[in-house]
Amino acid sequence: MDDVLSHLTSALALVPAGVGDGGDDTWTLIVDSFWPLLLAGLTATIPLALLSFVLGLVIALGVALLRLSPNPVLSGIARFYISVIRGTPLLVQLFVIFYGLPSIGLVIDPWPAAIIAFSLNVGGYAAEIIRAAILSVPKGQWEAGHTVGFSQAQTLTRIVLPQATRVSVPPLSNTFISLVKDTSLASLILVTELFRRAQQIAAFTYEFMIIYLEAALIYWMFCLVLSAGQNALERRLDRYVAH
């Protein structure tokens, strides 16, 4: 990625001072900066969001099951976790992990710190989505599983969760799309993703409006593609739902 920025720097060095005053110079800047921004999004922003989301779903499923547990201690722990995550800003969570933990001797590199923060955040929000989806499955489905000799775990994994998945797809998809945009916060702990790359280019060219609008356009493009994928997945799953 640094090589890409070096090439961009060389290309922009040919642009006269006062870039942006003329239409040709503005378009030159837009074209020269588009690929580095898009590449940062494809190689950093999307992988960061995807990995954090997958880990977050694992956390969310565990927390949701604890939340549904009849054991008041386990349920209380899950409630506390969800309350803390939903009641504090993601930026604060990110700073606590990256800047706060070193004060107690635990130093985490930028990328792992971002993944941990985003995963924990997704876990807190997605847990309630998964819990609601599980509760939406009729109790008769549990009874049917027990009737055919399934254990509680088998009934959950083979009967309940597949049905709950169809219900949870829309809200979980929205959570992932929001996460893609929230990854821009990782730039504040020096993770070189899309927005961090935009900051670097803007600092070099002094064309903050153009570069930041271009970054916003790329985020929008990502969200449009993800929304289209979400709609296609919902239509596919809808075939298996009785109307």
pLDDT digits 0-9 by tens, 6-60: 545 544 443 334 444 455 688 888 889 999 999 999 999 999 999 999 999 999 9
Q: How confident is the model at residue 215 (pLDDT cuts 50, 70, 90)?
A: very high
Q: How confident is the model at residue 157 (pLDDT cuts 50, 70, 90)?
A: confident
Q: What is the pLDDT of residue 240?
A: 54
Greatest mean pLDDT among 85-99, 142-156, 163-177 = 85-99
Would you tell me the crossing angle of helices 23-40 and 2-12 to the nearest 10 degrees? 180
Q: 82-127: per-residue pLDDT in tens?
A: 999 999 999 999 999 999 999 999 999 999 999 999 999 999 999 9
Cα-based angle 186, 190, 196 (whole degrees, multiple of 5): 70
- Residue 88 phi/psi, 5° resolution? -125, 150
Take residue 155 and report the two structure tokens written for it. 């009934």
Tell which residue, 134, 159, 147, 9, has the closest CA to residue 61.
Answer: 134
Q: What percent of the chain has pLDDT over 90?
A: 65
Q: What is the pLDDT of residue 2?
A: 52
**What's the pTM?**
0.85
Q: What is the pLDDT of residue 13?
A: 44
CA distance 35 to 33: 6
* Mean pLDDT value across the chain: 87
Reply yes or no on whether the pLDDT at 129 is more than 60: yes
Residue 107's CB: how many other CB atoms inside 10 A?
10
More confident residue, 65 or 151: 65
Reply yes or no on whether the pLDDT at 184 is more than 60: yes
Residue 234's CB: how many other CB atoms inside 10 A?
13
Q: What is the pLDDT of residue 228?
A: 94
